[in-house]
Amino acid sequence: MAFSYSRGTAITFLVLIFTSISCIINIPTAEARIRRYKWEAKYEYKSPDCYKKLVITINGRTPGPTILAQQNDTVIVEVKNSLMTENLAIHWHGIRQIGSPWFDGTEGVTQCPIVPGDTFIYQFVVDRPGTYLYHAHYGMQREAGLYGSIRVSLPDGQSEPFAYDYDRSIILNDWYHKSVYEQATGLASVPFSWVNEPQSLLIQGKGLFNCSTPGIQAGLCNSTTPECFPYVMTVVPAKTYRLRISSLTALSALSFQIQGHNMTVVEADGHYVKPFVVKNLFIYSGETYSVLIKTDQNPSTNYWMTTDVVSRKPGTSQGLAILNYYPNHPRRPPPTPPPSGPLWNLTEPRLAQSLAIKAHPDHIHPPPLTAHRTIIMLNTQNRVNDHVRWSINNVSFNLPHTPYLISLKHNLSGVHTRIPPPTGYNLKNYDIYSVQDNKNATISDHSVYKLEFNTTVDVILQNANSMSNNTSETHPWHLHGHDFWVLGYGKGKFEMENDTRTYNLVDPIMKNTVPVHPYGWTALRFKSDNPGVWLFHCHIESHFFMGMGVVFEEGIDRIGKLPSSIMGCGETKDIIHKP
């Protein structure tokens, strides 16, 4: 539940905020409000795809409640951990946390985990309109169902560069029947045990597992439980709908489509897009889009909304939901079968969509024309100490037990190495098209990329062959604390001289999550202007768990006193912190 306060109350609150938070950069205007949420995270039995299993709910729901706010509002979420013996941490995906780097919700990077029984208060300003997400950022906990939407609208009186009648949010997901513990234990084991393809695809938390699947435990799957009836989005004919579509899949890249309806892409990760029309939208874990659809089809029937796995050979049935034209019965199945998805292994159309996304002409944030430094990040799958891991420049990430933000700010010794991680790779001699040995691969000793404050940084994400022949996966990389300009995508090995010339420096879109296509590269640019310690990682839950990430540090000396609420683990127990 959100409580909106009157202006007078809001001002009182703002005074309190200024007293307790030292360096808010975006000052909320007088109209800004406090949006206060009280959440309880709990394990409960649910059957989102007809198969009963334990999930993590917020206030009894998964996906959790949608956070609704206006630009410059302050969102306060009190999270009570009622998970019994398991900790949690919640990340506010796409919110840059300007002035509140300690509330990014990234366990091991910005905070200690929230222990059971404790109530943690997240407080941050949503400084830009757009479509954002929240989800667990601790181990592989996101997959247990702890996630939801954040929708930030423009202040009253301001308008978007496109028109619509109604606004709706849909989160796409994939779903496993094994617990997060079972999956993670397999991934961390020698011999390695892969999580395999998900059991179903969810649309707004609902999927449809085939209960006749042989070998499943008796009594757990019930195809008639109302819980797993497909998600129904009811629309009235002859209107324009803004559909906010986001993906929080554990593994799958998806293609989303609505039978008989084109979609006009207008927003990506909180930035306005130069509109373009698609029949199906490719979407990767961690991305958000707004599309406009017109309910201009035959209003006497319903229509399928579908998701299909792409980029990996699908082992999961199509995800289904119903676009219900009012006043048809919401549960009436559409008269024709759902459309089949695109060919899973065709990279071209996906690359084409990536290239089509440009900033809206009236909302271009011009990028700096040059960068102060360039970091090339070669993405490889390796064997490190007999474990199967993902690595960046041959270093496989693992989280320290004392969060980076605290140990760096407090100069705790013995937690991190001061030797920087490798900033590039000898690409000339690296064959990205075949399985490589990567013999010198190591597990990170918690080194960080220290970025000089307020400089421009280029990152080239270079894809390669994995440990399987003729396989290169799609990795959606997500950057915390920033948006970046997407300067370009390319096939094959990145060539500094030639490829930098192809960069779009005119109207690049800004995003926080971007795919690296198979055997390809993606170039992005950002400014190190947000004091904090920020994770940059593949948003595929198992890939990050297996080491696919890095950490950036910037302007740590500009950060105020860290709140004691983020302490409690590792070396932070001995930090003196008065209330």
In the bound state with its own copies, the residue whose beta carbon lies nearer, of 84 and 163, is 84
Neighbours of 156 (CB within 10 A): 7
Any idea which residue has 């904090």 for tokens?
Answer: 532
In the bound state with its own copies, the residue whose beta carbon lies nearer, of 332 and 573, is 573
Are 51 and 57 within 8 A, CB to CB?
A: no
In the bound state with its own copies, the residue whose beta carbon lies nearer, of 117 and 315, is 117
CB of 404 to its own copies, least distance (A): 13
- Written as six digits, the tokens of 444 are 């990170």
Beta bridge partners of 55: 44
Are 197 and 27 within 8 A, CB to CB?
A: no
CB of 467 to its own copies, least distance (A): 23
Question: What is the torsional sign of CA 22, 26, 32, 34?
Answer: negative
Are 152 and 132 within 8 A, CB to CB?
A: yes
Are 187 and 194 within 8 A, CB to CB?
A: yes
CB of 220 to its own copies, least distance (A): 9
Give DSSP secondary structure letters for 285-323: TT-EEEEEEE--S-TTS-EEEEEEEESS---SPPEEEEE
Give the span between the Cα atoms of 195 and 180, in whole angstroms: 10
Are 50 and 228 within 8 A, CB to CB?
A: yes
Alpha-carbon distances of 567 from 41, 102, 535, rounded to whole Å: 20, 10, 18
In the bound state with its own copies, the residue whose beta carbon lies nearer, of 479 and 569, is 569
In the bound state with its own copies, the residue whose beta carbon lies nearer, of 143 and 499, is 143
CB of 139 to its own copies, least distance (A): 4
CB of 317 to its own copies, least distance (A): 20
CB of 31 to its own copies, least distance (A): 35
- Written as six digits, the tokens of 228 are 């797993």
In the bound state with its own copies, the residue whose beta carbon lies nearer, of 146 and 152, is 146
In the bound state with its own copies, the residue whose beta carbon lies nearer, of 1 and 84, is 84
CB of 312 to its own copies, least distance (A): 23
End-to-end Cα, the chain, rounded Å = 28
In the bound state with its own copies, the residue whose beta carbon lies nearer, of 330 and 570, is 570
Alpha-carbon distances of 470 from 194, 291, 363, 430, 465, rounded to whole Å: 18, 34, 41, 16, 7
Give DSSP secondary structure letters for 448-494: -EEEPTT-EEEEEEE----SSTT----EEEEESS--EEEEEEEESS-
Any idea which residue has 């809001």 for tokens?
Answer: 10
- Written as six digits, the tokens of 418 are 């001061």
CB of 45 to its own copies, least distance (A): 6
CB of 414 to its own copies, least distance (A): 12
Beta bridge partners of 90: 136
In the bound state with its own copies, the residue whose beta carbon lies nearer, of 400 and 518, is 400
Are 531 and 405 within 8 A, CB to CB?
A: no
Return phi, psi of residue 453, to 5°.
Answer: -65, 140
In the bound state with its own copies, the residue whose beta carbon lies nearer, of 116 and 330, is 116
In the bound state with its own copies, the residue whose beta carbon lies nearer, of 9 and 564, is 564
CB of 221 to its own copies, least distance (A): 11
Return phi, psi of residue 171, to 5°.
Answer: -105, 130
CB of 21 to its own copies, least distance (A): 17
Are 514 and 524 within 8 A, CB to CB?
A: yes
- Interface residues with its own copies (CB under 8 A) are 43-45, 54, 84-88, 108, 112-113, 115-118, 138-141, 179-182, 184-186, 188-189, 214-219, 399-401, 564-565, 567-570, 572-574, 576-579
